[in-house]
A = this chain, B = another copy of it.
């Protein structure tokens, strides 16, 4: 489950508001037996939970790794790895380490290569922590599973690999162009 969580950074966080489900995209990083979530989205459930309160949440992370077309429509499948974490999220007061973890999960090495957040910025930032107690994982790999009587149909079956890839870094319009692109961005 750690490996699945560590292979990605976007997640979907669900919570209940006025009895109805809400799901929002946000970013996360696993550190030990916790996940940290961050950002303007993360602040939304926190407004309801408050500084000392905890909020029931469900965090889901899904990597799509392949399309698996079968000979029969019904057996078409997706290869994926996913983790779902349920529990009580609470607000983090020591935010600096969690923010560094979030940045380094998305771009390894970047936290040390940017201006650290100052006290004012940290105070205005929301970070949520969720312990990895109630965790489930689901993995599908390999070929589609056609019924034996369909194996001789003339339709192609197999797996089309799916991956996330990174393009060429595009400098900001206001970047001093004497600053070269760092290796941690070109080597992804």
Interface residues, chain A, with chain B CB atoms under 8 Å away: 10, 12-16, 19-25, 27, 56-60, 62, 64, 67, 69-74, 76, 78, 80, 82, 84, 86, 99-100, 103, 106-107, 110-111, 113-117, 121-122, 125, 143-144, 146, 150-176, 179-182, 185, 188
Contacts of A188 in B (CB 8 A): 160
Interface pair B115/A73, CB less than 8 Å apart: yes
Bound-state CA distance A156–B101 (Å) is 19
Interface pair B158/A25, CB less than 8 Å apart: no
Bound-state CA distance A96–B168 (Å) is 42
Interface pair A164/B164, CB less than 8 Å apart: yes
A175 and B158 contact, Cβ closer than 8 Å, known pairs A58-B21, A76-B106, A125-B74? yes
Interface pair A25/B155, CB less than 8 Å apart: no
Interface pair A57/B159, CB less than 8 Å apart: no
A12 and B60 contact, Cβ closer than 8 Å, known pairs A74-B125, A174-B151? yes
| Distance of A66 from chain B, by nearest CB (Å) | 8
| Distance of A78 from chain B, by nearest CB (Å) | 7
Q: Which 3 A-B pairs have the closest CB atoms?
A: A161-B167, A14-B23, A12-B12
Bound-state CA distance A117–B72 (Å) is 7
Interface pair B170/A159, CB less than 8 Å apart: yes
Interface pair A160/B167, CB less than 8 Å apart: yes
Contacts of A23 in B (CB 8 A): 12-14, 23, 58-60, 84
Which of the residues B25, B74, B165 comes within 8 Å of A117, measured between beta carbons?
B74
Which of the residues B56, B76, B170 comes within 8 Å of A114, measured between beta carbons?
B76
Bound-state CA distance A166–B124 (Å) is 40
Which of the residues B21, B72, B155 comes within 8 Å of A14, measured between beta carbons?
B21
Most buried by B among A156, A170, A175, A181: A156
